Structures are given as C-alpha cells and as structure tokens.
Amino acid sequence: MVDGATLYPPGHFPNRPYFILGSVTTDNEDHVAKAVKEHGADAALVYTDVRYRTGTVAIAGPGALWYVPLHGSKVNAQLIKFK
C-alpha cells in the first residue's frame, strides 16, 4: 500500500475479478496512488517501474572532484476496479 492505495508490483495480480479503468504513466508510485484515489479505482497494477540515468553533475572542492549521477524514473500502471 502506498498512501492508502493498493499497488500490485509487476507480475503480481489480485485473486478476484476486476476490470481495467485506464492507465497512468508518472514518475513515482505516490502519483500512481493519487491517480487511484482521483479516478475512484480500487487498486493499480504496476507493469513497469524503470529507473534511468538522466545525466551527471560534477562537484569540486579543495583537492577533490567527484561526479554524482542524476536519475529519473517512470512508472506505468493500470487502474483497476473490482467486480
């Protein structure tokens, strides 16, 4: 559960009948949970949860230089309603 909404991870499905209301693509699971509530769905079936590299930031200090990778994420889910 995320923020009171049930999110089924990829490959897991509810054991009761349901129908799909629609789908949502966003950048995190919190926004999927918000979509579940806003659309009156009972749960969401997450089918992809991908994290990808978007770039790098170089940080320098006295005698030191290091790089910090930047990441983005993409979550795709089906909003479902139980029968």
Q: Convert 7-22 to b/e letters by CB count within 10 Å (16 or more is b).
A: bbeeeeeeeeebeebe
For tokens 């993409």, name the residue. Answer: 74
Fold of 6-82: Translation Initiation Factor IF3 (3.30.110)
Query: Under DSSP, is residue 1 helix (H, G, I), strand (E, B) or coil?
Result: coil
Angstrom distance (rounded) from CA 22 to CA 34:
14
Tens of pLDDT, residue by residue over 28-50, are 999 999 999 999 999 999 999 89
Q: Categorize the per-residue pLDDT at 1 as very low, low, confident or very high, splitting at 50, 70 and 90.
A: low
Mean pLDDT over residues 7-35, rounded? 94
Mean pLDDT over residues 58-69, rounded? 92
Q: Is the pTM of this model over 0.85?
A: no
Work out the percent of the chain whose per-residue pLDDT is above 90: 88
Cβ atoms 7, 44 nearer than 8 A = yes
Cβ atoms 20, 79 nearer than 8 A = yes
Per-residue model confidence (pLDDT) at position 9: 93
